[in-house]
Amino acid sequence: MIFKFKGIGSDGKKVSDKIEAISLEEAKSKLKSKNIIYQSISEDSPGLFDNFEFSRKYKISAKELSSLSRELSMYIRSGITIVSALKIIQSHYEKNQKIKLFLTTVSTHLDEGKDFYTALQTQSVIELPEFFKHSIKVSENGGLLDDVLMELSRFLKEQDRINKEIKSAFAYPTFMIVVSLLMISFMLSFVVPQITGIFESMDQELPTPTIVVITMGDFFNDNFTTILGVIFILIAAFTVLMKKSYSFAYGVHKLLLKLPLFG
Protein backbone atom coordinates (compact mmCIF):
# COMPACT_ATOMS: atom_id res chain seq x y z
CA MET A 1 0.00 0.00 0.00
CA ILE A 2 1.13 3.54 -0.73
CA PHE A 3 0.54 6.30 1.82
CA LYS A 4 0.93 10.03 1.27
CA PHE A 5 1.99 12.24 4.15
CA LYS A 6 2.84 15.78 5.16
CA GLY A 7 5.04 16.66 8.10
CA ILE A 8 8.28 18.11 9.45
CA GLY A 9 11.62 16.47 8.64
CA SER A 10 14.63 16.06 10.92
CA ASP A 11 16.06 19.30 9.51
CA GLY A 12 12.95 21.25 10.56
CA LYS A 13 11.69 21.72 6.99
CA LYS A 14 8.24 20.78 5.74
CA VAL A 15 8.09 17.54 3.76
CA SER A 16 5.37 16.11 1.55
CA ASP A 17 5.93 12.71 0.01
CA LYS A 18 4.75 9.11 -0.28
CA ILE A 19 5.82 5.95 1.51
CA GLU A 20 5.12 2.26 0.97
CA ALA A 21 3.90 0.14 3.90
CA ILE A 22 1.66 -2.84 4.63
CA SER A 23 -0.57 -0.86 6.99
CA LEU A 24 -1.13 2.65 8.32
CA GLU A 25 0.60 1.69 11.57
CA GLU A 26 3.68 0.49 9.71
CA ALA A 27 3.72 3.71 7.68
CA LYS A 28 3.67 5.76 10.88
CA SER A 29 6.45 3.59 12.32
CA LYS A 30 8.61 4.10 9.23
CA LEU A 31 8.15 7.85 9.39
CA LYS A 32 9.10 7.82 13.03
CA SER A 33 12.28 5.85 12.27
CA LYS A 34 13.18 8.55 9.71
CA ASN A 35 12.65 11.26 12.37
CA ILE A 36 9.70 12.70 10.46
CA ILE A 37 6.90 14.24 12.52
CA TYR A 38 3.85 13.70 10.36
CA GLN A 39 0.96 16.16 10.40
CA SER A 40 -1.29 14.13 8.12
CA ILE A 41 -1.06 10.66 6.63
CA SER A 42 -3.54 8.73 4.50
CA GLU A 43 -3.67 5.99 1.90
CA ASP A 44 -2.99 7.24 -1.59
CA SER A 45 -6.17 7.05 -3.67
CA PRO A 46 -5.98 4.34 -6.35
CA GLY A 47 -6.11 5.35 -9.99
CA LEU A 48 -8.88 4.49 -12.39
CA PHE A 49 -7.13 1.40 -13.75
CA ASP A 50 -6.36 -0.02 -10.30
CA ASN A 51 -10.05 -0.80 -9.93
CA PHE A 52 -9.72 -3.21 -12.86
CA GLU A 53 -6.79 -4.99 -11.17
CA PHE A 54 -4.22 -3.55 -13.56
CA SER A 55 -0.64 -3.47 -12.43
CA ARG A 56 0.19 -0.47 -10.26
CA LYS A 57 3.90 -0.89 -10.84
CA TYR A 58 5.76 1.66 -12.91
CA LYS A 59 7.49 -0.03 -15.83
CA ILE A 60 10.94 1.51 -15.78
CA SER A 61 12.67 1.87 -19.15
CA ALA A 62 16.03 0.30 -19.95
CA LYS A 63 17.53 3.79 -20.26
CA GLU A 64 16.29 4.86 -16.80
CA LEU A 65 17.43 1.62 -15.15
CA SER A 66 20.82 1.87 -16.87
CA SER A 67 21.34 5.39 -15.57
CA LEU A 68 20.20 4.41 -12.08
CA SER A 69 22.54 1.38 -12.01
CA ARG A 70 25.51 3.44 -13.17
CA GLU A 71 24.95 6.12 -10.53
CA LEU A 72 24.59 3.55 -7.76
CA SER A 73 27.72 1.69 -8.89
CA MET A 74 29.79 4.87 -8.92
CA TYR A 75 28.70 5.89 -5.43
CA ILE A 76 29.40 2.41 -4.01
CA ARG A 77 32.86 2.37 -5.65
CA SER A 78 33.63 5.70 -3.99
CA GLY A 79 33.04 4.10 -0.59
CA ILE A 80 29.50 5.37 0.10
CA THR A 81 27.03 2.87 1.60
CA ILE A 82 24.04 1.70 -0.44
CA VAL A 83 21.57 3.48 1.85
CA SER A 84 23.44 6.78 1.62
CA ALA A 85 23.83 6.40 -2.14
CA LEU A 86 20.10 5.81 -2.60
CA LYS A 87 19.29 8.89 -0.53
CA ILE A 88 21.67 11.01 -2.61
CA ILE A 89 20.25 9.70 -5.90
CA GLN A 90 16.70 10.55 -4.74
CA SER A 91 17.47 14.23 -5.24
CA HIS A 92 18.17 13.55 -8.94
CA TYR A 93 14.63 12.33 -9.54
CA GLU A 94 12.47 15.16 -8.21
CA LYS A 95 10.54 15.23 -11.50
CA ASN A 96 9.95 11.47 -11.55
CA GLN A 97 7.95 10.74 -8.41
CA LYS A 98 7.69 7.00 -9.14
CA ILE A 99 11.45 6.46 -9.21
CA LYS A 100 11.86 8.72 -6.19
CA LEU A 101 9.28 6.66 -4.28
CA PHE A 102 11.06 3.49 -5.40
CA LEU A 103 14.39 4.75 -4.03
CA THR A 104 12.75 5.85 -0.78
CA THR A 105 11.05 2.47 -0.36
CA VAL A 106 14.23 0.46 -1.03
CA SER A 107 16.16 2.72 1.34
CA THR A 108 13.54 2.13 4.04
CA HIS A 109 13.76 -1.66 3.61
CA LEU A 110 17.55 -1.47 3.92
CA ASP A 111 17.19 0.58 7.11
CA GLU A 112 15.00 -2.21 8.46
CA GLY A 113 17.86 -4.69 8.02
CA LYS A 114 16.93 -6.30 4.70
CA ASP A 115 19.61 -7.00 2.10
CA PHE A 116 19.54 -5.17 -1.23
CA TYR A 117 18.02 -8.07 -3.20
CA THR A 118 15.23 -8.57 -0.67
CA ALA A 119 14.54 -4.82 -0.66
CA LEU A 120 14.20 -4.84 -4.46
CA GLN A 121 12.03 -7.95 -4.36
CA THR A 122 9.77 -6.59 -1.60
CA GLN A 123 9.06 -3.14 -3.06
CA SER A 124 5.96 -2.81 -5.22
CA VAL A 125 6.56 0.57 -6.85
CA ILE A 126 8.61 -0.38 -9.90
CA GLU A 127 8.52 -3.49 -12.07
CA LEU A 128 12.12 -4.66 -12.33
CA PRO A 129 13.36 -7.32 -14.80
CA GLU A 130 13.91 -10.70 -13.17
CA PHE A 131 17.45 -10.97 -14.56
CA PHE A 132 18.29 -7.64 -12.91
CA LYS A 133 17.11 -8.75 -9.47
CA HIS A 134 18.82 -12.14 -9.64
CA SER A 135 22.05 -10.52 -10.83
CA ILE A 136 21.90 -8.29 -7.75
CA LYS A 137 21.33 -11.34 -5.54
CA VAL A 138 24.36 -13.21 -6.90
CA SER A 139 26.64 -10.15 -6.86
CA GLU A 140 25.62 -9.20 -3.33
CA ASN A 141 26.49 -12.65 -2.04
CA GLY A 142 29.84 -12.53 -3.87
CA GLY A 143 30.74 -8.98 -2.87
CA LEU A 144 30.77 -7.74 -6.47
CA LEU A 145 27.77 -5.43 -6.33
CA ASP A 146 29.47 -2.34 -7.78
CA ASP A 147 31.01 -4.28 -10.71
CA VAL A 148 27.78 -6.09 -11.56
CA LEU A 149 25.75 -2.86 -11.37
CA MET A 150 28.15 -1.27 -13.89
CA GLU A 151 27.88 -4.29 -16.21
CA LEU A 152 24.09 -4.21 -15.92
CA SER A 153 24.18 -0.53 -16.79
CA ARG A 154 26.19 -1.25 -19.96
CA PHE A 155 23.92 -4.15 -20.92
CA LEU A 156 20.75 -2.08 -20.42
CA LYS A 157 22.23 0.81 -22.40
CA GLU A 158 22.96 -1.55 -25.30
CA GLN A 159 19.47 -3.03 -25.00
CA ASP A 160 17.99 0.47 -25.23
CA ARG A 161 20.09 1.20 -28.33
CA ILE A 162 18.92 -2.01 -30.05
CA ASN A 163 15.28 -1.27 -29.19
CA LYS A 164 15.57 2.18 -30.74
CA GLU A 165 17.13 0.72 -33.91
CA ILE A 166 14.32 -1.83 -34.20
CA LYS A 167 11.69 0.90 -33.79
CA SER A 168 13.48 3.04 -36.35
CA ALA A 169 13.62 0.12 -38.81
CA PHE A 170 9.87 -0.43 -38.49
CA ALA A 171 8.97 3.26 -38.73
CA TYR A 172 8.92 3.47 -42.54
CA PRO A 173 7.00 0.18 -43.16
CA THR A 174 4.48 1.19 -40.50
CA PHE A 175 4.06 4.60 -42.13
CA MET A 176 3.48 3.00 -45.54
CA ILE A 177 0.90 0.58 -44.12
CA VAL A 178 -0.99 3.42 -42.42
CA VAL A 179 -0.94 5.54 -45.58
CA SER A 180 -2.14 2.56 -47.66
CA LEU A 181 -5.01 1.90 -45.27
CA LEU A 182 -5.98 5.57 -45.34
CA MET A 183 -5.94 5.57 -49.15
CA ILE A 184 -8.10 2.43 -49.29
CA SER A 185 -10.53 3.95 -46.80
CA PHE A 186 -10.68 7.15 -48.85
CA MET A 187 -11.30 5.22 -52.07
CA LEU A 188 -14.06 3.10 -50.53
CA SER A 189 -15.72 6.00 -48.70
CA PHE A 190 -15.60 8.78 -51.31
CA VAL A 191 -14.39 7.62 -54.74
CA VAL A 192 -16.32 4.35 -55.14
CA PRO A 193 -19.72 5.92 -54.24
CA GLN A 194 -19.12 8.58 -56.93
CA ILE A 195 -18.68 6.00 -59.70
CA THR A 196 -21.38 3.60 -58.47
CA GLY A 197 -24.00 5.55 -60.43
CA ILE A 198 -22.03 5.03 -63.64
CA PHE A 199 -22.07 1.27 -63.22
CA GLU A 200 -25.77 1.28 -62.37
CA SER A 201 -26.62 3.32 -65.52
CA MET A 202 -24.92 0.70 -67.70
CA ASP A 203 -27.73 -1.73 -66.85
CA GLN A 204 -25.41 -4.71 -67.27
CA GLU A 205 -24.49 -7.61 -65.02
CA LEU A 206 -21.36 -6.62 -63.12
CA PRO A 207 -18.47 -8.98 -62.29
CA THR A 208 -18.38 -10.32 -58.72
CA PRO A 209 -15.19 -8.38 -57.73
CA THR A 210 -16.84 -5.12 -58.86
CA ILE A 211 -19.98 -5.90 -56.85
CA VAL A 212 -17.85 -6.64 -53.77
CA VAL A 213 -15.97 -3.32 -54.13
CA ILE A 214 -19.22 -1.36 -54.58
CA THR A 215 -20.79 -3.11 -51.55
CA MET A 216 -17.73 -2.33 -49.42
CA GLY A 217 -17.81 1.27 -50.62
CA ASP A 218 -21.49 1.62 -49.68
CA PHE A 219 -20.80 0.11 -46.26
CA PHE A 220 -17.87 2.46 -45.57
CA ASN A 221 -19.83 5.45 -46.80
CA ASP A 222 -22.84 4.68 -44.59
CA ASN A 223 -20.81 3.80 -41.47
CA PHE A 224 -17.64 5.88 -41.85
CA THR A 225 -17.97 7.72 -38.51
CA THR A 226 -18.83 4.53 -36.62
CA ILE A 227 -15.90 2.61 -38.14
CA LEU A 228 -13.52 5.47 -37.34
CA GLY A 229 -14.77 5.57 -33.74
CA VAL A 230 -14.42 1.80 -33.31
CA ILE A 231 -10.86 1.86 -34.68
CA PHE A 232 -9.92 4.70 -32.31
CA ILE A 233 -11.41 2.87 -29.30
CA LEU A 234 -9.61 -0.37 -30.20
CA ILE A 235 -6.26 1.40 -30.57
CA ALA A 236 -6.75 3.28 -27.28
CA ALA A 237 -7.80 0.10 -25.44
CA PHE A 238 -4.83 -1.84 -26.83
CA THR A 239 -2.40 0.92 -25.82
CA VAL A 240 -3.81 1.13 -22.28
CA LEU A 241 -3.79 -2.65 -21.82
CA MET A 242 -0.19 -2.90 -23.02
CA LYS A 243 0.87 -0.29 -20.47
CA LYS A 244 -1.33 -1.27 -17.54
CA SER A 245 -1.91 -5.04 -17.76
CA TYR A 246 1.20 -7.20 -17.37
CA SER A 247 -0.60 -10.41 -18.36
CA PHE A 248 -1.98 -8.83 -21.57
CA ALA A 249 1.42 -7.41 -22.57
CA TYR A 250 3.06 -10.76 -21.80
CA GLY A 251 0.54 -12.57 -24.02
CA VAL A 252 1.06 -10.14 -26.91
CA HIS A 253 4.86 -10.39 -26.69
CA LYS A 254 4.66 -14.19 -26.48
CA LEU A 255 2.54 -14.23 -29.63
CA LEU A 256 4.93 -11.90 -31.47
CA LEU A 257 7.89 -14.12 -30.62
CA LYS A 258 6.16 -17.02 -32.36
CA LEU A 259 5.81 -15.06 -35.60
CA PRO A 260 8.64 -15.54 -38.15
CA LEU A 261 9.15 -11.80 -38.69
CA PHE A 262 9.47 -10.87 -35.00
CA GLY A 263 10.65 -14.08 -33.36
Confidence at residue 166, expressed as pLDDT on a 0 to 100 scale: 81
Condensed to tens digits (0 to 9), the pLDDT of residues 99-113 reads 988 998 898 888 888
Condensed to tens digits (0 to 9), the pLDDT of residues 48-60 reads 444 444 445 788 8
Give the chain's length: 263
Q: What percentage of the chain exceeds 90 in pLDDT?
A: 22
φ/ψ of 14, rounded to 5, equals -70, 140
pTM attached to this predicted model: 0.59
Helices (H), the chain: 24-33, 62-77, 82-90, 97-111, 116-122, 130-142, 145-186, 192-201, 208-222, 224-244, 246-258
What letters, b where the CB count within 10 A reaches 16 and e where it falls short, cover 79-90? Answer: eeebbebbeebb
Cβ atoms of 205 and 198 closer than 8 Å: no
The CATH number that domain 58-157 falls under is 1.20.81.30
Closest CA to 125 of 144, 143, 140, 104: 104
